Structure formats: C-alpha cells, structure tokens
Amino acid sequence: MKQQIIAIIDFETTGFKGREDDIIEIGALLFSTSNFEIIDTYQTFIKRDQPLPQKIIEITHITDGMLQTQGIPRVDAAQQLFQFIPEEAVICGYNVMFDLSFYETLIKKYVKSEYHINNDILDVLTIFRDLSTTSHKLSDAVDYYQVTTPNTHRALDDVIATFEVLKKMHTENAHIIDTYKNIIGYPPFRTYFGLKLPHVKYLPQRSGMKDLMLVSKL
C-alpha cells in the first residue's frame, strides 16, 4: 500500500439531516499510513443561536453554555476544517457518509459554493459490519478491538476511537484500507438514503459475510 494521508472526521450535531440540522462540535485527526502515527488533531465547538434539544445535551453532554463560551462562528469553523484536511487526503469516519453530508453542506455554504467531495473515502462502519456479526455501533467496535479510547459521543474522542479501531484492523489485515476504499455498505433490507458520491460504490451488505471484500476484488 502506498503512503496515504487519512483524515478522520466526526461531528456532533442537532439532528440527522446535513442540509437542515446544525453541527455543534467538530473533531478531526490526520495520520499517515506509513506508520499509523497521529500527525495532528483539530477540535472546536460552534456557536449556535437557538437552545440545544434536551436529547442532544443528554447524549453528548454538550451544553448551550459550552457553545457560547468555547464555540467559534460557523464560518470560522468551516474555513479552519477545510484548511486542516489536505486536498489529497482520504476522508474517513465511522458511518462516514453521515458526517460527509454535513461537511459538504458546511463547505458549500461558508467556503466554496461550487464545492463537491472528490476525495477518496473510507467507512470504518462498513469494514466492521463486514467482519463482525455483533451489533455495529462505534462502542461495539471499541469493545471488539479492545481499544483504549471510549466512544463518548464527543467529536475528538470519537475520531481517536475510530483511529484506534482502524489501526487494529490494519494490524490484522494490511490491505484493509485499499480493500474498502470508496465502498459504502448498507443493510440489505432497506434502500440506501443519504448523500451519494459518484466515485463511491453503495452496496447491500450482510454483516459478517465479507460481502464487500469479495465484490471489491472482482
């Protein structure tokens, strides 16, 4: 595998719709596949005018006060994150298409109106679903691979947890990144919905069956 820079991203948000809901916290991490060492990290809260839904406070433990005192304007967060992620980086995440729907909306609105995601992408959820018959939340992957950083529903913690899970996967299979790059698996009993990128394959996937590993080698 040639050396690649991978950017892992995670957003805490007020809901599930990238074009309607707000990002309230950004976490991002850069590492090189040459040594799997972290190059840099980025974290910020984003200011918000409206009060947070109580459910979001309960899940993330992020409060309105934290956003007001520690947050930065949305336009600043967008520009900082766009500059943080190298143009050639593989963008990675756990259920990465969720985060990418928010990312593309953010960058289009505040950085480049004509922006479209052209980066290669890597979804650690797709890999874990292919390799394991357990349930497939990030906390399940953390337990399965016995990594040290818990899934806390805080953005930087979760990107570090995702990095540690991917590192364990790579230790077991050195081809894991190239095998699953630009492939998104989804449960076969429902239709895929969400952001679609033209260079990415969206495939039905049964857990634990290694379906996508076979497809990607055709």
The full set of domains in the chain, from first to last, is 5-215 (3.30.420.10)
> Quick one: average pLDDT of 190-198?
91
Residue position matching structure tokens 């480049």:
112
> Quick one: average pLDDT of 9-15?
97
Nearest-CA neighbor of 44 among 150, 148, 154, 162? Answer: 154
Q: What are the C-alpha distances in Å from 120 to residues 16, 88, 137, 188?
A: 23, 8, 23, 24
Model-level pTM? 0.94
- pLDDT for residue 214: 60
Please say if the pLDDT value at position 212 is more than 60.
yes
176 token code pair: 């894991």
Give the tens place of pLDDT for each residue, 66-86.
999 999 999 999 999 999 999
> Quick one: average pLDDT of 82-99?
97
Separation between Cα atoms, residue 134 and residue 136, nearest integer Å: 6
Q: How confident is the model at residue 90 (pLDDT cuts 50, 70, 90)?
A: very high
- pLDDT for residue 218: 41
Q: CB atoms < 10 A from the CB of 35, how many? A: 9
DSSP 33: T
> Quick one: average pLDDT of 178-191?
91
Please say if the pLDDT value at position 171 is more than 90.
yes
> Quick one: average pLDDT of 31-40?
96
Mean pLDDT taken over the chain: 93
> Quick one: average pLDDT of 152-159?
93
